[in-house]
Structure 1
Amino acid sequence: MSEIKEKILSILKETVSIDSFSATENENRVSEYLYDYMKSMKYFEDNPNLFGNFKIEDDYLGRRISYGMVRGKSNKTVVLMNHHDVVGIDDYGSIKEYAFDIERLPEKIREININTEALEDLNSGEWIFGRGAADMKGGLAIQLAYLERYSEMEEREGNILFISVPDEESYSTGMRGAVKLLSRLKEEFELEYSFLIDCEPNFKVNGKHVVSLGTAGKCMPVILAQGQKSHICRCFDGLNPIGVLGEIFSRTELSLEFSDELDGEITVPPTWNYFKDMKVEYDVSIPIRACGYFSVISFYTSPDEILEKLKRISNDSFKAYVNKMKMIYSEYKCRNMHCSEREIEFKPEVLSFEELMNIASEKDKEGFGRFYGKLYDEISEKIVKNEINYPQATIRIMDEVMNFTGISYPVIVLGFAPPYYPALNSRKISGKGHIIDECYNLIRDYAHDNFNYDLNYENYTVGLSDCSYCAVDRAFDYDSFSLNTPMWGKLYSIDFEGIEKLNIPSIIFGPWSKDYHQATERVNRESLTVIVPKLIDEIVNYIFKNK
């Protein structure tokens, strides 16, 4: 494997130099680089039908998935998957212009305040710094160099399929689109997808390199609360939706009720990304609506189950806030001689977005169809122009549908905003889970015996990954999820059925790295160029000879 060391370093330097920010056209510059690199390989000169750039359907940036397949004797196929987009570089401050230069950055990074551990790693010379060096152009470089090495071998037992996707850091447009590419290649070449290695960076805990055998799920519930408007000096005549939403916030923020647990691992509790009233102008009245959204990380809880839990919490929160108003108003009346004797009466109502859509359709089916089509097109145009993001667009759609219904009483509406990542633990895939343990045990023992390098595993990475779209370890009501996701359609969708048919067992195994998404992002040189490439080779050989 020593012959690919310099290739890995060369590919890393060249790909890091490309500022392929997520959700931008610059991602295509890496696709072009990868296409040109594979085109120059002797194998693909002889087999031009086995590589290319696959255009993602309906992608407003025209992004492409780069792929190349080297054929072997059997239909067994190992997929080497990575992503080539990177996050922004504002954290580099005054040295931003050097963020993509792995040769000049080490000296320049001394000019900014970095932590002691990063400084020690910098001085050691054992680490490569740069935006994307760890997440995840290091993994890309390993896999592309390995593909080239495999193409030069005389005896090849099975197939290696290299696939590099855009947009992992934003909405995973690349991997969601790759389901179609993988399905097409499977059918065209009668492939048997035996294993997938997502070469995302790994970290160490207690001196052991942690391999992820699964990837946590993530959904983003969106809550729109409608109250009853009133003058602030007559606040007991109205219902403040901020108060209702605040009650929901207090019962969900950092709530362990939403955390899943497995074998000593637990998902982080929810945290809110956004919380705001929807009042545009200023006046002395309480707002009519408020909204917010938060992230729920899961190992096994489905969106349906999360929605049901939120319905209960929303209903209880509504009642709690009204009861609070009643108690305060009761005391207020005793202390105000001019107060009326009327009582506060608000009945809780909680709707899913699907239920709200049904109300709108029942009001005027044809008219609502035209209205919703026009609204979706308008939102699409704003997204293409980067004037709005998916969660904001979700709120806008929920708000406009509420307007169409004419509902004027207090109500809470629940939906989901993209992106959605299904949880996956490949050990739970029926009939295929055994291969995960076998491959992990293989590389754990090999690393210890040959490199004195220790591995450990986690059942799920909570950092999320594109492995969510490789297989399904448990089914749920896909239709219900799509009907409660306002953005579902041309702008956002997941081919759940296609993913089920692929059902590729996967692990997340890449080079030892630190501080990804920070200015001190770095990848360990030996792990990148020696250890991980060799362990990937061990997995490939095992799959082809034993599965």
Structure 2
Amino acid sequence: MLQCRNDVLAFTKQLVNTKSVVNTNGEKNIAHSIYNMISSFPYFTQNPDHLFLEQTYQDEQERYNVLAFVKGKKGNSNRTVILMGHMDTVGTEDFNQLEEKAFFPEELMESLEDEELPPSIKDHLHSKDWLFGRGVLDMKSGVASNLYLLKYYSEHPEELEGNIVFLAECDEEDGSNGILSALKTLNLWKNDHGFEYVAAINADFVSPRYEGDENRYIYKGTGGKLLPSFFITGAETHVGSAFEGMDPNFLAAHLTTQINYNPELSNAAYGETPVPPVSLKQMDLKPTYTVQTALSAYVYYNFFIHSWTPKEVLEKLKEQALIAFNNALASFEERHKHYCKISGQPYEQHNWKPRVLTYEEMEQLLIKENGDEFKTHMNEFKDNLLNDPELDTRMFAARVVEEAWKWMKDKDPTMILFYSSLYSPRIELTGKNEDELALIDALDQAVLDIQPNYQYPIVTRNFFPYISDMSFVALSDREEDIDAVTNNNPGWGTKHYVEYQDIRELNVPVINIGPYGIDAHKKLERMEMTYSLEIVPNLTNQVIVNLLRR
């Protein structure tokens, strides 16, 4: 066992003290801090061309990745393991009056002594084995573990049979510009240095899966994430004649009722089931108050996948949307009839039919009807829309669909289904090739070797349950599956673009061995030090040793 606790703790505190909230200058600051730290290691003083501070590619923010590598001197193997982790954190608004102390664990913990906390949290506060603060768990202690191993092998290259690459990437908490930019360098190094990438080890945090769960999890592969979105049109009317039109918010409410928390949309695979979709936004698109009902509404949902493709998700959601549409129309007519009965007004049925289109279907219809005129107009519209810095990828996509809808001849109520944000691909690590089998074997052996040194069970599972940059080092989807994303994202090629070919070119099996703790992204974020500072570096190191000596 490497005696690494004190060193990893020191690195952790140094990283946490550097405020690096995503989409702020802090991301730039921490990248420079890590770069300067590594450049002080003797190996990198002697080999400065093994360390890089690289600005992200085609990014609206100025921020950087830090990449470094150590070439082993034990033999002449080109087998290479990537150690990766993100430097950015979420914000600190949830700390309220303690916000200034969020990045200083000792000061924060001292202040928390005066707060009313549940007994279990008080126990952690007093245990001397838990560290509180923004980023201690997600995931600066993980980056610190990788830093320790980089430093160790830079001092002992004769023990390294092969190579290790260190990557500290930015922007994991938002758009993953960091990892997507780093792919280009990692792929370039395959040719420049002959690196034969055999595995990537991510160091993102792990947590209990349920109350009382004492397992510490390692994940093989990761779940994917999509953001399916719906632009919903109604039939405008004055509120005094409510039943003469269709409120799109009424349709949106039925859609969310149908999709939210629906277990039929939980994609179980290999005995593991992600949480079902949940709404992340529901709004109408009226710019100001009027006594007219809205023309359109906009909703989008978080959607985790294990084995479904983006194309399959569109098909399943189209079915669910048709069910919701039928339910909404039936409810509308039932209430309309009831109102007419009690008010003495004559009942006249509407002839609306449920209609759900994907963005690709609508776009192809409009191109068929209008040709180059439509395409030219939409390209100019999107170019102009890029001048509005307030629009994120999700609202940008909604505005594009809204503009395209104006060209539709049939303006009856409709739901348009599309993707409005980054697709984080799922990765299945099943042993389908030699590299996957080698990584699984190396991991299993590492757990057997390290488990006797730790009191709680170390358990492997198949899918990392959160969003992470693991998604961008390998690709389980076919090209036609990716096409379902690119053809149905209205901002594709303008506001949003991912070179999925870079991922396919790297295509390295990945696991997650990360710090253990509770309440990531919350005020009481904390990590258990024994597992995070001692077990994680040793588990990671043992996997490296097992892989590179093959």
Deviation of 1:533 after TM superposition, in Å, equals 1.4
Deviation of 1:399 after TM superposition, in Å, equals 1.2
- In the aligned structure 2, how far is the partner of 1:147 from the partner of 1:37? 12
* One-letter amino acid of the structure 2 residue matched with residue 111 of structure 1: D
Gap change, CA 1:429 and 1:38, over 3 Å in 2: farther
- In the aligned structure 2, how far is the partner of 1:529 from the partner of 1:236? 64
- In the aligned structure 1, how far is the partner of 2:249 from the partner of 2:124? 48
- In the aligned structure 1, how far is the partner of 2:525 from the partner of 2:341? 62
- In the aligned structure 1, how far is the partner of 2:140 from the partner of 2:436? 28
* Kept after mapping to 1: 8 A contact 2:221/2:509: no
- In the aligned structure 2, how far is the partner of 1:337 from the partner of 1:84? 66
* Kept after mapping to 2: 8 A contact 1:429/1:505: no
Match of 1:88 in 2: 91
- In the aligned structure 2, how far is the partner of 1:236 from the partner of 1:490? 40
- In the aligned structure 1, how far is the partner of 2:340 from the partner of 2:106? 73
- In the aligned structure 2, how far is the partner of 1:332 from the partner of 1:11? 68
Deviation of 1:506 after TM superposition, in Å, equals 1.0
Q: Does 1:489 align with 2:493?
A: yes
Match of 1:22 in 2: 22
Match of 2:415 in 1: 412
1:255 to 259, 262, 275: 262
- In the aligned structure 2, how far is the partner of 1:368 from the partner of 1:44? 56
What is the SS of the residue equivalent to 1:541? helix
* One-letter amino acid of the structure 1 residue matched with residue 44 of structure 2: F
Identity %: 27
Deviation of 1:83 after TM superposition, in Å, equals 0.1
Structure 1 segment 318-357 matched on structure 2, within 5 A = 318-339=325-346, 342-357=348-363
* One-letter amino acid of the structure 1 residue matched with residue 119 of structure 2: T
Deviation of 1:407 after TM superposition, in Å, equals 4.9
Comparing 39-48 and 153-162, the one that deviates more: 39-48
- In the aligned structure 1, how far is the partner of 2:436 from the partner of 2:539? 20
Match of 2:32 in 1: 32
Structure 1 segment 126-525 matched on structure 2, within 5 A = 126-155=129-158, 156-204=160-208, 206-339=213-346, 342-383=348-389, 387-405=390-408, 407-427=410-430, 429-475=432-478, 476-525=480-529
TM-score, length-normalised on structure 2? 0.93
* One-letter amino acid of the structure 1 residue matched with residue 148 of structure 2: A
* One-letter amino acid of the structure 2 residue matched with residue 543 of structure 1: L
* Kept after mapping to 1: 8 A contact 2:382/2:494: no
Aligned length: 542
- In the aligned structure 1, how far is the partner of 2:380 from the partner of 2:113? 53
Comparing 88-97 and 280-289, the one that deviates more: 280-289
* Kept after mapping to 1: 8 A contact 2:227/2:421: yes
* Kept after mapping to 1: 8 A contact 2:83/2:167: yes
Gap change, CA 1:149 and 1:244, over 3 Å in 2: same
Which deviations, in whole Å up to 9, do the C-alpha atoms of 1:422-472 show, x marking residues without a partner?
111222554433234312321221122344453112211221211111112
Match of 2:120 in 1: 117
- In the aligned structure 2, how far is the partner of 1:288 from the partner of 1:208? 51
Which deviations, in whole Å up to 9, do the C-alpha atoms of 1:137-162 show, x marking residues without a partner?
10111111210110111413110100
Deviation of 1:4 after TM superposition, in Å, equals 4.2
- In the aligned structure 1, how far is the partner of 2:310 from the partner of 2:486? 10
- In the aligned structure 1, how far is the partner of 2:107 from the partner of 2:348? 73
* One-letter amino acid of the structure 2 residue matched with residue 17 of structure 1: N
* Kept after mapping to 2: 8 A contact 1:427/1:436: no
* One-letter amino acid of the structure 2 residue matched with residue 15 of structure 1: L
Match of 1:51 in 2: 51
Match of 2:534 in 1: 530
What is the SS of the residue equivalent to 2:117? coil
Which deviations, in whole Å up to 9, do the C-alpha atoms of 1:38-75 show, x marking residues without a partner?
22222222222221012221101122111001112311
What is the SS of the residue equivalent to 1:136? helix
Gap change, CA 1:345 and 1:204, over 3 Å in 2: closer
- In the aligned structure 2, how far is the partner of 1:529 from the partner of 1:285? 60
Comparing 389-398 and 55-64, the one that deviates more: 389-398
Gap change, CA 1:338 and 1:528, over 3 Å in 2: closer
- In the aligned structure 1, how far is the partner of 2:470 from the partner of 2:356? 34
Deviation of 1:243 after TM superposition, in Å, equals 1.8
**Structure 2 unpaired stretches of 5+:** none
* One-letter amino acid of the structure 2 residue matched with residue 157 of structure 1: E
What is the SS of the residue equivalent to 1:113? coil
- In the aligned structure 1, how far is the partner of 2:203 from the partner of 2:530? 15
- In the aligned structure 2, how far is the partner of 1:333 from the partner of 1:82? 62
- In the aligned structure 1, how far is the partner of 2:404 from the partner of 2:7? 55
- In the aligned structure 1, how far is the partner of 2:290 from the partner of 2:456? 65
Which deviations, in whole Å up to 9, do the C-alpha atoms of 1:279-331 show, x marking residues without a partner?
22333322221111111111111111111122222223323322333333344
* Kept after mapping to 2: 8 A contact 1:443/1:538: yes
Deviation of 1:190 after TM superposition, in Å, equals 1.8
- In the aligned structure 2, how far is the partner of 1:445 from the partner of 1:3? 19
Gap change, CA 1:336 and 1:7, over 3 Å in 2: closer
Could you say what the CA RMSD is over the residues aligned between the two structures, in angstroms?
2.1
Q: Does 1:61 align with 2:68?
A: no
* Kept after mapping to 2: 8 A contact 1:54/1:181: no
Runs of 4+ aligned residues of structure 1 deviating over 6 Å after TM superposition are none
Deviation of 1:181 after TM superposition, in Å, equals 1.9
Which deviations, in whole Å up to 9, do the C-alpha atoms of 1:508-535 show, x marking residues without a partner?
1112222211222122222233222122
* Kept after mapping to 2: 8 A contact 1:58/1:490: no
**Structure 1 unpaired stretches of 5+:** none
* Kept after mapping to 2: 8 A contact 1:58/1:491: no
Which deviations, in whole Å up to 9, do the C-alpha atoms of 1:199-239 show, x marking residues without a partner?
11223564321111121111111111111112223233222
Gap change, CA 1:297 and 1:473, over 3 Å in 2: same
Which deviations, in whole Å up to 9, do the C-alpha atoms of 1:467-504 show, x marking residues without a partner?
11111234252122101012222432222222122221
What is the SS of the residue equivalent to 1:427? coil
- In the aligned structure 2, how far is the partner of 1:175 from the partner of 1:332? 57
Deviation of 1:393 after TM superposition, in Å, equals 2.0
Which deviations, in whole Å up to 9, do the C-alpha atoms of 1:174-216 show, x marking residues without a partner?
1122222211112221211111110112235643211111211
* One-letter amino acid of the structure 1 residue matched with residue 504 of structure 2: E
Deviation of 1:19 after TM superposition, in Å, equals 1.1
- In the aligned structure 2, how far is the partner of 1:428 from the partner of 1:171? 30
* Kept after mapping to 2: 8 A contact 1:426/1:473: no
* Kept after mapping to 2: 8 A contact 1:213/1:436: no
- In the aligned structure 2, how far is the partner of 1:166 from the partner of 1:238? 48
* One-letter amino acid of the structure 2 residue matched with residue 245 of structure 1: A
- In the aligned structure 2, how far is the partner of 1:532 from the partner of 1:504? 21
Gap change, CA 1:453 and 1:317, over 3 Å in 2: closer
* Kept after mapping to 2: 8 A contact 1:363/1:405: no
Deviation of 1:23 after TM superposition, in Å, equals 1.9
* Kept after mapping to 2: 8 A contact 1:236/1:329: yes
Gap change, CA 1:450 and 1:326, over 3 Å in 2: closer
- In the aligned structure 2, how far is the partner of 1:152 from the partner of 1:432? 28
